[in-house]
Amino acid sequence: MATVIVPAHNEASVIQACLDSIVSQRGVDHIIVPCNGCTDTTVEIVKQNYPQVVCLDIEKPSKTNALNIAEEKAKELGVSYPIFYIDADTRLSDNCIQIVIQMMQDNDELLLTAPTPIINTHKSSWLVKTYYKVWTHLPYIKEGVIATCSFIVSEKGRQRFDKFADVIGDDGFIRCHFKNSEIANIEGAEIFITAPRNIYSLIKIKTRARLGNMELIARKKCPILETKNYGNVMKSRLLSREFLHTSVYIAIALIIRVRAKLQFKKLESYQWEKDTSSR
């Protein structure tokens, strides 16, 4: 059995689709939605439509704080493992939770997992589609639990850290507590993610992700850092029929890198950037 935590900040337009994909699934003991800093109707939607869900109305707008409070509530209820942390703007495939639970039970070396991400770029611009066409085939993405908007931690894995640190990248914080051999995306279990519609929205969320990783390293919040070298991958793609798409990807990635470096210089005043185009 499992515990599901869905942090939500002003997710009125998407929270129902997310919870509808969770509440009917087998293998769930508790579903907790820590609404944090909401100024829309997210809290009302959850409380009125999902009586089986524990809704927490938290004043402070902070995802990591919301996760910590939700975990304390889970302990009060009698937490079940694994714990699923699912973003409110995603949907799970049918029987996703049971498939993940079974896979982690069968392989106790898997401590951190995620459903396989299915990224919908149907309404996205050509630049966004081109970026994801390259990005989804990169080796480090295929290694697992990268930008899946979710992560699932076993009981043994949850012992790797105390509380969620007050950082920008909660998913990066989790991932850098595990070796690549301990993580995986689970085949047959899927999470549906809607891509940004325009390139500026894409750049915003990818900058946030890169900035989050920079912060983790600077604050020494990553106990496990495995050396990776993917330079040859890009070289081979530039010399192939994927030259145009790869060139576009590299250009966008450079913009994201520069933007993250500039924001890192003013990290203390950073304002959370969110994609609203996909909602």
pTM: 0.94
What is the residue whose two structure tokens read 């509808």? 20
The model's pLDDT over 60-83, given as tens digits with 9 standing for 90+, comes to: 999 999 999 999 999 999 999 999
The count of residues in the chain is 279
Model pLDDT, residue 22: 98
Contact 260, 214 (CB under 8 A): yes
Model pLDDT, residue 38: 97
Model pLDDT, residue 156: 97
Model pLDDT, residue 216: 96
- The structural domains of the chain, ordered by start, are 2-269 (3.90.550.10)
Of 43, 34, 35, 29, nearest to 83 (Cα)? 29
The list of the chain residues with pLDDT below 50 reads: none
Model pLDDT, residue 239: 78
How far, in Å, are 178, 249, 269, 271 from residue 94 at the CA level?
28, 33, 41, 36
Model pLDDT, residue 68: 98
Contact 25, 100 (CB under 8 A): no
Model pLDDT, residue 37: 96
